[in-house]
Amino acid sequence: MLTGIITGWVGEFVTVEIAKLLVSGVGSKLHYSDLEKALKSSAKEACEQEEGLFSRCQKDGIKGSAKFLNKFFQGKGFHELRKPLKNEGKPDIDFLATAFIHEADNHPEINKIDKDCVRPWMETFVNQYFQSTDTYIKYQVAKENYLKQIEKWFDDVKFAGIAVPGQEVEKSEKLAQIFVMPDVEEDRRGKDFVFAADEKEWDEDILNITRNKRQHELLLEQRQRVKLGLENRATNKFLAAKLLIQTDANKFVLLGSPGSGKTTLLSYFAVMLAQNQSEQLGLKPDVNYLPIIIRMRDLSKKGDISILDYAKQFAEKTMSVKSLPTGFFEYWLEDGRALILLDGLDEVAEESKRYNVVQRIENFLGQFDRNTAIITSRPAGYKRDFFRTEEFPHYELLPFDDDKVEEFINHWYDSRFQDKEEAERRKESLRKALNDNERIKLLARNPLLLTIIALIHRYQDVLPRERYKLYD
């Protein structure tokens, strides 16, 4: 029992301040939180292997040992602990053991230690510390490359598939420059709610654009929102970024109609973490987060591959990340420092496979339950028994209101024109075009349709009067 108490006290010796001091000014790849973890785990390992070191100490002495180690590793042991961070090799065990005994003789609460245990204790500590820092540095180097590829892959917005006559089809845009944070609200529809998509209920102008299935579905779902009164029910809405800090829950289902911005939102979250801007999402800026993006449609096509193996394949084969070290994803997941983004549950084609993917997700999140996870789906492809709302609060992406449409217009033309006067002229022209046509203005509340409208206006400087011609 005494050994366990000692291990607990000594293992907690290191403070954030010590870790920050050690990594400051040495240009190390290691994050201070990783160094703190290495120090704590090494001290605990040493105490478990050499439990006799502090066995002669009384309770106050045990508490004093933590203070002593703090003082020792900020003093005599400081430069030795820095060696691995400066690529200078392993700390000198003999020097540390000798200095430890000398310092202990002058410490009234620690001078009863078993001096015969000092060197083996220090040897275990140094070996574990050196191995841990070496591994963690490799993880950090791999993470830098991983985040660079995340940024390259998700920060460039391509307009392929929605080309407009006259458009420079090769031109892309930076997501962060044009992104508008959508609002969400808690989804309160009951478990028996079923999305109806009866074409006969809609008027002729929708039938005019049924040539494209995705566009047809998009309009149907948006129209049903209006019919159900969902457009105007957002009394408790809040910015989607606050999902990560809104409640005590850390797992969410996010529903949204086609084109409502589900994938774009997850991409934005990933890019913000890749650019070290976690505070934009309400997250602590000094926490070393790792985004993990899972495309559920692709996952379902991989058979019974584990989610971790899929994440590794996606990183290395799709995003061209350099080979990741063993245990890379587990390192952040086990610490609760991953943001898990599971996109497009509705895109798993077969319903039976969808249930299988749901079970795999639950098992995965249960294994790493300290992390935040967001699961996206269209309402039309979602079953209310997929995830229990008690464990997975459900939210819905809301259409853009007038302020968000205006914000998008400003972002769009500020990013497309360096000439501020021309940008302002284009903004005013687009505002007028929307205000003059209520039916097209309604479509502009959908982010994808608003992007199409902006592309048409960018290259034609006018909008068609008939709504269906937006799709010609």
| 114 pLDDT tier (thresholds 50, 70, 90) | confident
| 289 pLDDT tier (thresholds 50, 70, 90) | very high
Q: What is the mean pLDDT of residues 31-59?
A: 82
- Among 3-17, 205-219, 439-453, which range has the highest average pLDDT? 439-453
Residue 157, domain member (yes or no) = no
Cβ neighbours of residue 128 closer than 8 Å, sequence gap 6 or more: 38, 41, 42, 45, 46
| 304 pLDDT tier (thresholds 50, 70, 90) | confident
What total number of domains does the chain contain? 3
Q: Is the domain of 375 the same as that of 285?
A: yes
pLDDT in tens, 325-334: 999 999 999 9
Domain span including residue 304: 181-399
Q: At what angle do helices 32-49 and 2-11 cross, to 10 degrees?
A: 160
Q: Is the domain of 393 the same as that of 415?
A: no
Specify the higher pLDDT residue, 10 or 24. 24
Q: What is the mean pLDDT of residues 273-292?
A: 88
Region of residue 373 (left: phi > 0; alpha: psi -120 to 50; beta: else): beta
| 160 pLDDT tier (thresholds 50, 70, 90) | very low
| 233 pLDDT tier (thresholds 50, 70, 90) | low
Q: Is the domain of 111 the same as that of 213?
A: no
395 DSSP β-pair partners: 186, 254
Q: Is the domain of 328 the same as that of 419?
A: no
| 146 pLDDT tier (thresholds 50, 70, 90) | very high
Residue 175, domain member (yes or no) = no
| 437 pLDDT tier (thresholds 50, 70, 90) | confident
Query: Which of 399, 427, 449 marks a domain boundary?
Result: 399
Residue 296, domain member (yes or no) = yes
Q: Is the domain of 139 the same as that of 217?
A: no
Nearest to 295 by CA among 377, 418, 412: 377
Q: Is the domain of 264 the same as that of 223?
A: yes
Query: CA–CA separation, 258 vs 264, rounded Å?
Result: 12
Range scoring the smallest mean pLDDT among 201-205, 299-303, 354-358 = 201-205
pLDDT of residue 145: 95
Range scoring the smallest mean pLDDT among 122-131, 206-215, 366-375, 427-436 = 206-215
Q: CA torsion angle for 68, 70, 76, 79 (degrees, to 10)?
A: 160
Nearest to 14 by CA among 56, 52, 43, 47: 43
Query: Which of 378, 399, 420 marks a domain boundary?
Result: 399
Range scoring the smallest mean pLDDT among 74-83, 230-239, 391-400, 434-443 = 230-239
Q: Is the pLDDT assigned to residue 32 strictly greater than 80?
A: yes
Q: Is the domain of 379 the same as that of 270?
A: yes
Q: Is the domain of 335 the same as that of 224?
A: yes
pLDDT of residue 210: 40
Residue 162, domain member (yes or no) = no
Q: Is the domain of 270 the same as that of 214?
A: yes
Give me the chain's average pLDDT, please.
81
Q: What is the mean pLDDT of residues 35-48?
A: 89
CB 112 within 8 A of CB 56: yes
DSSP string, 49-117: H-TTTTTT--HHHHHHHHHHHHHHHHTTTHHHHHGGGGT--S--HHHHHHHHHHHHHT-TTTTTS-GGG
CB environment 177-194: b (16+ within 10 A), e (fewer):
ebbbbbbbbebeeeeeee
List the alpha helices (DSSP H) in 106-189: 118-155, 175-178
Residue 275, domain member (yes or no) = yes
pLDDT of residue 208: 45
Q: Is the domain of 326 the same as that of 208?
A: yes
pLDDT of residue 63: 58
Q: Is the domain of 326 the same as that of 273?
A: yes
pLDDT of residue 99: 94
pLDDT of residue 470: 47
Q: Is the domain of 388 the same as that of 420?
A: no
CA max distance for the chain? 91
pLDDT of residue 213: 55
Q: How many CA atoms lie within 13 A of 234 on its CB side?
A: 18
